[in-house]
Chain A
Amino acid sequence: MTLAVRSSNARQSSIVTAAKSAVLCRAVSKHYGPVQALANFNLEVSPGKLVAVLGPNGAGKTTAIKLLLGLVRPSSGTVSVFGGDPSSRATHTRVGAMLQVGRVPETLEVSEHIDLFSSYYPHPLPLAKTLAIAGLESLGHRRFGVLSSGQKQRVLFALAICGDPDLLFLDEPTVGLDVEARHQLWQEIRQLLGRGKTILLTTHYLEEADALADRIVVLNHGTVIAEGTPSEIKARSAGKKIRCLTSLSSEVVETLPGVLNVHEDRGKFAIHCSEAEPVLRQLLARDLEISGIEVISAGLEDAFLALTRERTGDSEAVGKRQSLSTQHRNRFGAIRAGRA
């Protein structure tokens, strides 16, 4: 009896807030034992929008998704989805999720997996449509175990969308995909947005957040360090990057006025600076042989690195944290290098 009353109250409150936000996290903290995964995390996703949570490995992105699916409970703060309890079945019938998973039962066929997950939802998409949206038309009768990793990701995507949910959680959906497969999935995500779906996506591909998101939330060490539209995030770095071939030493280039930092690799320079023109004048004056000059706006990657670096500066006193963040940066650097 008490339960019935409580659930009907929850439903009533869901009418009130449903129009406002699909996803709402207020001052959420989450510890796993002594490890703090999220600290004072705030997030709001309006219906029909795509918000990207961007951050390096271990930033707390997956924890945020798990909280919003009711798979873990917050240590403090409130989490609500469509104004209701994220773990309730009523909420789950409006939500689809693509999580990172170690192993999916391999002896079932693609269409069998989809058929089963579709049965959980009140108004699933027809099988053929789910297969078409996920680009799996020709693979319906293949067993999961024989698929390529890109195809496997697409099956997980299909399981997330097969119930035609209003809200989608995509936890690093394109991890491990090649460029072509990644762009294909982006296309599918854009189509879902076109149909009015709300999407929360996590990624450590900065390009992905830039390409898809209405808003980006940058997460590092469980804290939001920046939030805004992709162009606002980029503006925060407010800089240019000059690439060139020069015989000057990096020590000399670093001392030029307006230069923020310099990367040198066998005479090839990438110079990050606040304004390009004064630096270019100096370079041209000092090195007559200079060649291959390119000037580009600092991208999201540079903005991100700048933001995470700012943050690291703040906590330099805490030795352990410092070393952790260095690790993260290195990992992030590796990803970056891999994509370059």
Chain B
Amino acid sequence: MATSTASVVFPDRESPNLITICAKEVKYEFLKCLRFPMYSVSTLVLPLMFYVLFGLLMGRQAVGQIATSLYMITSYGTFGVMGASLFGTAANLATERGLGWLQVKRASPMPVFAYFLAKVVLSLIFSVIDVVLLLCLGVIFGGVHLVPGMAAKLVGTLVVGALPFCAMGLAIGYFATPNSAPAVINLFYLPMSFLSGLWIPFMFLPKFVQQIGVFLPSYHLSQLALSLVDAGRRGAATGHWQSLVGFALICLGVAWAGHQRDQKANG
């Protein structure tokens, strides 16, 4: 009924294809970030560099039952997808919200969800690149042996696990200003990484640090990745996933509150 009315009133005004819009939005979001060194270098080069320094050059000794080079793929993989997600969403959103670009987009006929979808998909693309490059380095230079199925599972886990950090990024992006966003992100990102054992293996961290670490989403994601290569601590995968989903929901709630705050400011 409604569609027939629409076709009568706007015979030549059919809506443009949503898939085309989303594809273009993602494509240009990707190009925009790839060409922006502050994003592309810090999210791609930093985890790889850390991996080379600590995972490959520090020797072939083992962490627990597995080689450092394999262990560090999971921890720097987690570090990498967190960075790609937090910076991909929060930094962009804070800047574009604060300096009027989001408003220009909202004044256009762009469906608003396409805007957010592009930010999340971009973060996931960079996450995949991050983990795949780490795996390549590990296999070529670190003597890591992983069957393709397992490697794919590792990439999949880390990339799906990046979603809660996209939600966290949106929450930060709604409350940070363009100038404060990178600092605020690092204020969460770096301590979280350390406390979750992404730089120094969790088992080597002091007891009280471990007691804090188990509450962090980054800890749960890194444990999920580690359990794939049989190096996880005790605790079922379901528990880790539940923690991540819970964390994502909290972040989405905060992002929603931020969105409402913006709406209210505009009456």
Contact = CB atoms under 8 A, between A and B. Distances in A.
A11 B3 CA distance: 11
A280 to B, nearest CB: 51
A199 to B, nearest CB: 15
A123 B109 contact: no
Nearest to B28: A116
A69 B100 contact: no
A204 to B, nearest CB: 19
Interface in B49-106: 95-96, 98-101, 103-104, 106
Interface string A213-234: 0000000000000000000000
A11 B100 CA distance: 30
A117 B5 CA distance: 27
Interface stretch (A70-78, A249-257, A302-310, A312-320): A70-78
Interface string A120-146: 111100000000000000000001000
B208 interface: no
Contacts of A272: none
A211 interface: no
Contact of A104 (B15, B33, B101): B101
Interface stretch (A90-98, A173-181, A290-298, A323-331): A90-98
Interface stretch (B18-26, B215-223, B250-258): B18-26
Interface string A73-87: 111000000000000
A100 interface: yes
Nearest to B263: A73
B107 A92 contact: yes
For chain A, the bracket of interface size reads 35 or more
Interface stretch (B6-14, B149-157, B236-244): B6-14
B207 interface: no
A65 to B, nearest CB: 9
Interface stretch (A46-54, A105-113, A236-244): A105-113
Contact of B24 (A12, A15, A115, A121): A115
A121 B266 contact: no
B20 A71 contact: no
B267 A97 contact: no
Q: Is the interface of A mostly helix, strand, loop or mixed?
A: mixed
A156 B1 CA distance: 39
B100 A101 contact: yes
A101 B104 contact: yes
Interface in B212-231: none
Interface residues of B, number: 39
A159 B267 CA distance: 27
A99 B101 CA distance: 9
A105 B178 CA distance: 13
A128 B48 CA distance: 42
A291 to B, nearest CB: 51
B28 A99 contact: no
Nearest to B25: A116
A89 B32 CA distance: 26
A105 B34 CA distance: 12
A20 interface: no
Contacts of B10: 11, 90
B24 A163 contact: no
Contacts of A34: none
B111 interface: yes
A14 B10 CA distance: 11
Contacts of A117: 108
A69 B28 CA distance: 25
A101 B99 contact: yes
Given A72-B267, A74-B267, A112-B31, A101 B103 contact: yes
B16 interface: yes
Contact of B266 (A71, A101, A116, A119): A71
Interface in A2-36: 4-5, 7-8, 11-12, 14-15, 30-32
Contact of B35 (A14, A107, A119, A120): A107
B188 interface: no
B83 to A, nearest CB: 19
B28 A112 contact: yes
Contacts of B31: 107-108, 112
14 contacts: A5-B2, A15-B9, A32-B265, A73-B266, A74-B267, A101-B100, A102-B101, A103-B99, A104-B101, A105-B32, A105-B96, A105-B101, A120-B110, A122-B12
The 5 closest A-B pairs by CB, nearest first: A102-B99, A4-B2, A107-B35, A101-B100, A92-B109
Given A89-B15, A107-B31, A169-B107, 14 more contacts: A7-B2, A31-B267, A69-B106, A71-B103, A100-B100, A103-B95, A105-B96, A107-B32, A107-B36, A112-B28, A120-B109, A121-B16, A159-B104, A163-B109
Interface of B: 1-2, 5-6, 9-10, 12-16, 20-21, 24-25, 28, 31-33, 35-36, 95-96, 98-101, 103-104, 106-111, 178, 265-267
